[in-house]
Chain A
């Protein structure tokens, strides 16, 4: 299991050091600093073995978090734990920076004591941790409160406490998608996928039972076969259903129920959380198409022309559009002309950055640039990195639609109709690249 956890600043000074196992000595702290943080070459693996001791590390801004062990631990668990630890710290004191860590080191030790026991991850839900790890200490609790805390920490529904009350029962659903594309210069899609998340903010009283429905092909087919939905229901949704390749759920969702009935039912945590993640690869709406044209004019000049076309309903508006056209390292000067928005050559980033604030669907825009090059005798060719793009669109490129979110709370007197529900779709660019 996990033998110890160290946190270092960018210089390699230890900020936090907590050892859980006897086989980890003080020299382990130094071994990691010397061999990884101060290493001459860039570290080429997140797992390093130094003298029969294994180190796992992640970096957050310029802070290093390292887990050390001498055993054959579950590596995936260690990384999941490190990410979780970062989340917990961030939710307690914001950004993970040297200063915040120093100012909160007592809190961090307290958290580490609770989250890991003898190197075994225990409870890492911020919701329940915050009920008893506070910076003020927990004096003056009644006996009921104490046992409520412990039953929540160890209970089946560790993510929600009892007795939550809201005057207005409300919930917000955000469907956030990032669309990823790799396209060849000829416009052939090499790979495209959407990774989406359904983020929910719920302000609901009591212990509500929720059921979430979307236009997933299998769910709808299943419902159709079972005879639950009638013909009318089928015809409205049948055509627009989408094929989800795979999805993962928050731990509140009953996985066995999803496996057998494909129904997504759960008791939600309070406040904001990620309900599910999913991935689709079929029938993706690619909001933009990039058409590059690069011509080398002699050894010292490049001509670049890039056309972007928006490909969605004309009534919708895309925002925050940014096209990044890489330039060679030996660029000496650039002249740009664009029809819309602003374009600038950024020497420090080796790229022309073209920004457009808004663009409606089914439109087209163009940029052309002349790049002057310094003559070099460098034999190595310019690698021609792909042209990348950023944008935000108000629909889900995968085609996913939320069909319903039903709330049942039998003990309190509010029904599904009393809950105010909001749904929003945002599609963003992930890695959206076109080779040139």
Chain B
């Protein structure tokens, strides 16, 4: 009975055979046939031809057979939408079944069938199931709302399912609560500015109660949701922490990590002198260590997270160095991560142990691991000054092993040690020089050349050594060539008499025989320096070097804070923000740690990290900003100009239908104004419109209202309200919109571009302090500057406000007017702007800062359009 064949090709004969079996009268035979169909489906064969026959088996009281048919339906319904309708009746009937398991099964499966026509029929059964008396059905229905939202967001909103879902958070059954939280969190993620997950102290309390009672998975959903909440003050924060800490003893590592995330985030708000703060720090260490006795894959996830935690709060694990010692049988990915953390935790107190371990690792087999271990020894030397001498001698021991890659790695790190502690360890140079011939990696060769050049005066045969490198100059990599050039110039400046020939040789090699522009440029600069002013050359080339930092590979503070908010998730494993690997709008929302106390908006400072460097454009201090605010002229904003309609679809391309149109924003609603002209001979009817996925989720908020037939040579104007909750896909250009219009003749496609100002929402005025903090918080890389030419205006801010560009402050610096403005897009992206206007100069300069720098170009275009209009 179980001998289902796997490796067969579906040929016509087989399909025929299966067809016959599916239509058999015998139940057992039917079931076996469906099993065979599913088996072929699994291995990727196309069995969609059997659709009607399989669906016929659906009406059965055998639950196992029913489940198999449902599985088939989920896979093929999308490719056969018309036939899938055949199944609707059974679904609707099953949703009324007395058996709760069948009711749940029906609603669960129906949500997985992504066919528009079926979703319409889903609404009524779903509404009933959300209020079902059985919790098993309710918890399934809760997830189904998220499924439906993924297919048709508008429908879910129109049908009021979101409110029902919110009500389920107060359900008496903990699993229903957990699923409702999961569904709401997911929906909220695609609408960053909607206030869907209205977290307040009351709802938080409900969640914390459910947390004690639901399954391990439910606890994860609830904790992950809690992490998005920002408590009002430190007392609330402490009371939540107290109720979350018991989760640290859960057997499920994901529950533990999610609890750690909540604690790490909320701890930020606690005053550091509070007793509880210290207690909490102590409580965090043991569960983190316990994670390391989990299975290796989980250990890997835990270690990646611990790496972040150690950077943020090194005090938590500072006494736990030993647990990160590498075990011989650890998988390589665990070993490499442990090594990273060991270096971060190394301090004067434990350096002896760490060094002994690292030395041990340097004799292992895996090349990557050994290299990292050697590099780690060097980093210890730089980090803990007292250990530098021991580290150097350990490195020398390793060089003695003559294992090629160990030697090379050691030389690279010794170079860094020389830089950190100049004039201290030069005695080892002789040993290094012995290994000159074995170096075949560019990084090691470059390091060695640097050493020879830097200490040329102490190496008797420095010129010979460098000359030997020079022989194969053209075969070296750029890194080595550049280093060699510099080293020989250094040598020349130190021993000018003997090395004149050598320096000329290298300069000519670099400038005349090389086609690498960097190398040529550096060559020419040296040449000119040496020929015009040797004293200046000495000052430049042999200048004192800046100190190198103690910690390397540190994650940038703003990114670190964001990653701390994502503990346990993929972002924390990749050490990248979600926007770097998630498509669509989900990743755009950036999470931040809350600030300590309520009156300090500057997150960078509150978090104890160094404040970000001042932005290149001048941002006034807070006091000035307040004063300047009084100078703002508060005249009513002028209404924005309306764009002229453009022809989007010429009649030639659309069998006589011409469409032109434009966009407008009226009373907070985006309108697409269409002018339809019939240039054909026959009457047109049955108009409908659809959009492709687009960057900001624009979608028609209702059907196209063309009620009367459009006769020949008639023109009709329609305005179509748009919503911004449709499916999202990044377009190029960003504001591109692909539209399909249907009538009784055919379907026509065209694309148009909407001005991005349509998306500027009315509540885009940022608080002044928030503006300041945000401006500092956005990395400078995200800033773009543009010029607007030939602009003659008296009151730019009024004009801009009509387009929902809000001026927050204005001030005058040396005859220049600086206007600070904020804009909020419909998907929650903020754009901050600084407009510089110089009296009498028609050219304005504008700097835009935004977390999603892609939009800057579009926003600039819209500035230009508004200001010049």
Contacts and interface: CB of A to CB of B under 8 A. Distances in A.
B186 A146 contact: no
Contacts of A141: 99
B135 A156 contact: no
**Interface bin, chain B:** 35 or more
Nearest to A58: B297
Given A102-B6, A118-B147, A154-B139, A80 B252 contact: yes
Contacts of B188: none
A177 to B, nearest CB: 12
Interface string A130-162: 001000011101010011011101111010000
Interface stretch (A104-112, A338-346, A353-361, A398-406): A104-112
Given A44-B333, A246-B287, A255-B212, A118 B146 contact: yes
Contact of A150 (B136, B363, B574): B136
Interface in B478-509: none
Interface residues of A, number: 100
B302 interface: yes
A258 B792 CA distance: 72
Interface string B163-192: 000000000011110010010001000000
Contact of A109 (B71, B99, B221): B71
A182 B325 contact: yes
Interface string B134-171: 11110110011011001000000000000000000000
A17 B75 CA distance: 11
B92 interface: no
Given A75-B569, A138-B63, A52 B581 contact: yes
Given A74-B569, A191-B323, A146 B100 contact: yes
A306 interface: no
B383 interface: no
A46 interface: yes
Interface stretch (A163-171, A221-229, A310-318, A375-383): A375-383
Contacts of A276: 251
A388 B179 CA distance: 48
B304 to A, nearest CB: 8
A149 B103 CA distance: 14
A113 B249 contact: no
Given A110-B67, A274-B251, A120 B217 contact: yes
Given A121-B217, A122-B217, A15 B42 contact: yes
B599 interface: no
A103 B295 CA distance: 28
Interface in B211-232: 212-213, 215-217, 220-221, 224
A21 B215 CA distance: 23
A154 B323 contact: no
A421 to B, nearest CB: 23
Contact of B582 (A71, A154, A385): A71
A81 B134 CA distance: 26
A190 B323 CA distance: 10
B573 A279 contact: no
B403 interface: yes
A44 B369 CA distance: 12
Contacts of B114: 22
A195 B251 CA distance: 13
B301 A79 contact: yes
Contact of A29 (B44, B68, B247, B251): B44
Contacts of B43: 13-14
Contact of B300 (A13, A45, A120): A45
B300 A385 contact: no
Interface string B711-731: 000000000000000000000
A281 B114 CA distance: 55
Contacts of A69: 570
A72 B213 CA distance: 26
B586 interface: yes
Contacts of B301: 47, 75-76, 79
A259 B146 CA distance: 35
Interface stretch (B253-261, B735-743, B760-768, B829-837): B253-261
Interface string B87-112: 00000000000111100100010011
A379 B404 contact: yes
Contact of B4 (A80, A102, A277): A102
A21 B74 CA distance: 11
Given A22-B114, A46-B296, A248-B290, A80 B143 contact: no
Contact of A44 (B111, B216, B302, B332): B332
Contacts of B38: 105-106, 109
B746 interface: no
A154 B175 contact: yes
The 10 closest A-B pairs by CB, nearest first: A246-B286, A150-B136, A76-B254, A259-B246, A77-B254, A255-B246, A72-B578, A121-B217, A46-B297, A154-B135
6 contacts: A20-B112, A54-B570, A72-B566, A80-B254, A125-B215, A255-B246
